[in-house]
Amino acid sequence: MVPSQDAPLLGRRGGCFGGRPQAAYAYGFNFPALNASVAEARRRVLTRLREWGIDETACDDARLVVSELFTNAVRHTDSDKVSCHLRVNEALVRIEVADHGCAPTEPRARCSGTDEESGRGLLLVGALSQAWGVRPDDAGRGRIVWADLPHRRLCP
């Protein structure tokens, strides 16, 4: 697991709860590992969180996190598909993005040069999340990158 060690430096307090959160709501979907799937994943997550009454700040944060994690899975693995699962409990939205292919390295936050166009995604994930990490998928071939985002429910 990769700790969210950069989160405190970027203004968010780190921390996590063990295992998977017990969910009041849960939802999942799969898409082909294509660049075009990233936008559809963002739309699905935003629609579902709004249906569940999650506040707009958490929705916006989740949309960005899903975009970054999904993009990484598409670009940096040999996956045919990418899966996304949402779990919401009383305090957190857990986003899990799973690739189903091998990648040469494990996802890590890094500092990019000012003239580089990419490489800051996991720093953003760390800044928006209470915690984030990586674990092997159940089949042992791919990995799951997860992030826990705080939220407020707007309606019961």
> Tens digits of per-residue pLDDT, 30-67?
999 999 999 999 999 999 999 999 999 999 999 999 99
Which residues make beta-bridge pairs with 93?
88, 149
Q: What is the pLDDT of residues 83-109, one digit of tens each?
A: 999 999 989 999 999 998 765 555 554
Confidence check: pLDDT of 116 > 50: no
135: buried, middle or exposed (CB in 10 Å: 19+, 13-18, 0-12)? middle
Average pLDDT over residues 19-35: 82
- Ramachandran angles phi, psi of 147, nearest 5°: -145, 140
**Secondary structure, 3-state, the chain:** CCCCCHHHHCCCCCCCCCCCCCCCEEEEEEEECCHHHHHHHHHHHHHHHHHCCECHHHHHHHHHHHHHHHHHHHHHCCCCEEEEEEEECCCEEEEEEEECCCCCCCCCCCCCCCCCCCCCHHHHHHHHCCEEEEEECCCCCCEEEEEEEECCECCC
Q: Residue 90: CB partners within 8 Å, gap ≥ 6?
A: 24, 153
Confidence check: pLDDT of 120 > 80: no
Q: Residue 76: CB partners within 8 Å, gap ≥ 6?
A: 103, 105, 107
- Does the pTM surpass 0.95? The reply is no
